[in-house]
Amino acid sequence: MKKHLIIFSFALFFSSNIYGQGFPKIYASAGISMVDDSYLKTYIPFKIKEQWNFGGFPSTFKLGIDFRKQWILEANYSINTEKKGKLVNGKILNADRDYMSYDLQAKYYFGAEKYKIKVLEYVNPFLSFGYGTTTINNISKSNFVYGLGSYIWLFKRKDCDCSYLKKRSKDLDIGLLLQSVGKSNLEKPVNSTNPNNHIEHTASIVVKF
- The 3-state secondary structure of 73-88 reads EEEEEEEEEECCCCEE
pLDDT of residue 193: 47
- Residue 11 CA: distances (Å) to CA of 15, 47, 82, 173: 6, 38, 32, 23
Grouping H, G, I as helix, E, B as strand and the rest as coil, residue 207 is strand
Cross-strand pairs, 170 = none
Coil, helix or strand for 110?
A: coil
Count of domains observed in the chain:
1
b/e sequence 32-49, b meaning 16+ C-beta within 10 Å:
bbbbbbbbeeeeeeeeee
User: What CATH number is given to the structural domain containing 165?
Assistant: 2.40.160.20
Q: What is the mean pLDDT, run by run of 10 residues, along the chain of 209 residues?
A: 51 51 83 88 76 95 91 96 91 94 96 86 96 93 96 83 55 93 82 70 96
Among 203, 205, 186, 204, residue whose Cα is nearest residue 48: 203
Residue 71 pLDDT: 94
Q: How many residues does the chain have?
A: 209
Distances in whole angstroms, Cα of residue 22 to Cα of each of 19, 29, 157: 7, 22, 19
- Per the CB < 8 A criterion, the answer to whether 92 and 49 are in contact is no
First to last CA, the chain: 26
Show the domain range for 178.
2-208
pLDDT of residue 123: 96
